[in-house]
Every structure is written in structure tokens, then in C-alpha cells.
Chain A
Amino acid sequence: MKGIVFTEFLEMVEKEFGYDTVDDILENSDLPSGGVYTAVGTYAHGEMIQLISNLSSITKITVPELLKSYGQYLFNTFLRSYPAFFERSKNSFDFLESIDNHIHVEVKKLYPDAELPRFETSRIDETTLEMIYTSQRKMSAFAEGLIEKTLEHYGDNISLKKEAIDEEGTQIKFTIVRSKMS
């Protein structure tokens, strides 16, 4: 898992819960990296699971809640760091469609070893987009936060429906309906 996910996560924890919580989850986890993360590095996914689980134990907030919040948080980071990706799309549907087709292609060029989730999109009709999330990380809540923030960013009046396709949660279908073309 890319280093930026760790650094941004710890930044959000520090901001929301203070550095003590950061230090706490780092100290209470068995981390091969020793809790030292840099945005350009790559770290085991298990480390993130431990960090989130420890945070959930401390804060009494469920892991999905935390992941969704983190998604919302990270969207802002992305928007700040890579505005070009967003400027390119006119609306949320265009952007969401560009994740697999464009953004992740660019990410793969920079980080050939990155393991990225897949977002397959298909337009059902003019106002409905169907998006299927597939990832072994089972972090659909994280994705949901990002999606919500995206919709918010483009200012569309939209309803988002989330349904699991399998029991394990590796595949999730999001149905996004736009009330009106803006």
C-alpha cells in the first residue's frame, strides 16, 4: 500500500484525535515498518488494518465509519495535490468513469508495484451510473467516502445506493442517480 495512504491517515488521526492517538496506535501495533512512513514508500496492507483496528478500539468508532471518514478526508488531499485530474472532468459521472480508465493508468506508470482497486462503470441511462468496486482489501467504505466527496465536489444532486454483490465484501455495486442534468 502506497506510503501516502499511511501518511495522510496519520495526519487525519492527529488532526481529529490528537498526536497522542497517533502515537498510541503506532505503539500498540506490530508494524514491520516500525511506524515510519513516507509518501514515496510502499508498505504492507496489514499495517493499515492494524492501525484502523486500533483506532476503532480507542475511539469506539466502527472501522467502516473510520474508513468512510478517511475517504472523505483523502478526497480533499487528492483535490489539493492533483487538481488537473478533476479539472479534466465536467461532472461526477465523467470523473468516476475516468478513475479506472485514466487516473489509475497514470498511477500504474509511476508506481508499477501499486495494487489498485477496480471501478467498472456503466451508464444505465442518462441519469444513472452503475459502478462496481472490486478489491481484496474490502475497503468499500473508504471508496464510498471518496465517491460522496466527489459528488459533493461536482455539486450534482445525486442519490447513492450501495449494495454488496458477494458476502465477503470484495465486490460492491454502487448505483448513482442524478436527479437532473445540471
Chain B
Amino acid sequence: MVDDRKPMVHFDSVQKSYDGETLVVKNLNLEIARGEFLTMLGPSGSGKTTCLMMVAGFEAATHGEIYLDGRPINSVPPHKRGIGMVFQNYALFPHMTIAENLAFPLEVRGIGKAEQKQKVQRALDMVQMGEGGFHGRRPTQLSGGQQQRVALARALVFEPELVLMDEPLGALDKQLREHMQFEIKHIHETLGVTVIYVTHDQSEALTMSDRIAVFNDGVIQQLADPETLYEKPENSFVAQFIGENNTLRGKIKGIKDGIANVELANGEMCEALAINAGPGERTQLSIRPERVEIDPEENNSGYTVTGKVEEVIYLGDHIRTRMSVAGNSDFIVKTRNRLGARRFNAGDKVRVGWATEDCRALDHGE
């Protein structure tokens, strides 16, 4: 699906500043392949939306060039870029009916009435709103989810090769949001359009994307597919931001064959994969809650440390145990709720362990 011709979008050392003093986007280099679903993920103020707006043409790059299908577009006005865009609050025109909203991009392109009608119908069918008499309604007469679908259909109806989405699901409730994630994903797969998607919701990013660019402080912290991002975070920001993460602070005593020997805050020792911290440096160990075992059998893992159970939370499909480990009283362990699984009580003293590959020694963060 993702082909290797010229990249659809290419950021070439792009910088953006609003006030001439601080950079919102710092030297961005990014290539987005044709047909790719790329998500820009990050907290607010991280520069992700600014990047999107620069592609759309609503913000100008302070330095550097953006190429669309190999053509520089810095001086091309937004209405000539031919990029579909879904806005955060849908931006459906309230004085036009649904059909008129969808026909708008076709009308400004001088497409005939009959063809307009046909394309509008096809676009509405695609978002499952072709039937039910929605054509003549106004946006305010639709539910949030329906408005969202119409906004999506409007961004796609003129068959753009690139579609930008700026937190399009932010205003929906959780269930609808999850449903729409799958729908957008399916539409992307069916049409083969390139999508740049901006969100601050990491689970949304993991669900939908081919690749995710994690933004923080105007810099891409890591650019990878969802699995790599979750399993192999390259720095403490990504480890914290993506998924649930346990953090243990410590100091690297030495590194041997890529394995770091770490002294934890309470003096206990353990081993971890050395990622971006050197010998003698302070480090943050990152371990996913589902990779931790309580009272592991011998030989199963490299190291075990002592822990004290603080709280047990029953969640149906799994059980969360909060415990104190090496000075961190917010250490979470997730265990599957399987038959015969051992239950703990608050106050129990146990040993916790994990495989060395699951523990990553990262920079010490802030």
C-alpha cells in the first residue's frame, strides 16, 4: 500500500516561529510516503498542529521548504493546494445543508450539477450517511458523530490525494470515538489516500497509524510504527507518553554488551537494556506494567527486586496491583484475571521481576 515513489509530503529543515524569539517547530525533517497514515502525536504546544497548518497553507514556514508530491508549496495559497482537511470542530457551514456542504468543493471546481450529485451521494455512502434523508438537513440538526462523518465526507468528496485531520475525534464521546477510529482507518485503506492525522490521544494514534511521529517541544522525539514505539521507546518522554509505563530511577554503574548494570534509588541492583544513557549517568528505567511478574519463578528473569503491595484494583479482565518498588510507590503491575491467578492483599511483601529486554535504561528526563 505504501509505495516508494516521491514522498507525498516532505518537510525539509522546516522551522516555525510566531514571535521571532522562540521556535515552535525546530528544524523538522520528515518524509511522508504516498498512501501512508502518519500521526503527529504530542501534548498541546508541541508543534504538531503548527506542522499540519503549514502543510495546509494556513501558516507559513519561517525557514525551510515543504514539498507536496515533489513540488515546493511554500508560495502556493491554500485553495490551490488541493488538500482535504478535517477540522477540530468540523467547520461545517451552518447555513448550508449537508448536500450543499459536500457539493461546495465540487462547485468551486466547476463540476456539473449531475456529477456533483453523484459524487456527493458516493461520499455520503462512504461514511454510511447516504440514506436516511440527511441531504437536506443542516449541520446543527445532526449529532456530533454524524457531523464528524459529514466533515470527513466533505474532505474526501473532491478526491484529494492528501487529507489532513486536526484532532477530528476530540469532541466525541469515548465509544463513538473508538468506532470512528476504525471507520477512518477503513476508509484510508479503501481509498489509499495519504493521511496526516494530529492527535494528543496516544491510543487513537496506536490504533490507526502506519507510523507515528511523537512531538515534544517542537522536535520529533521518535518516528516509528506503533509497535516499535510502544515496545522500544527511545527516550523517557516517549516511554511516558505512549501507553502506561513504570519508571524507576537509578544510576548506571557500567555497560557491557548493551546491558546496563543499574543501581536503583534504594540501593538494589538490576539489569536493563542501555538505550540512551551512558556509564555513570543517572537513568530512568522503563518497564511496561504487563511485563512485570510478581514472585516470578527462579531463572525466569534476570533480576528481581523487593516490592510491597499498596493497593489491589479489580478491573474485570485484569487486575492492577499498585506497589512500592525501589522508592516508587506508583509502580503498577497488570495481571490477567485467569483462573487460579494469585491474589494479593495490601501490605504483602513480594518480589517483582522482569526480563532484561523489557527494561530499558533511558535518559533521566526532567
Q: Do A and B come from one complex?
A: no
Listed in ascending order, the chain B residues whose CB lies under 8 Å from chain A are: none
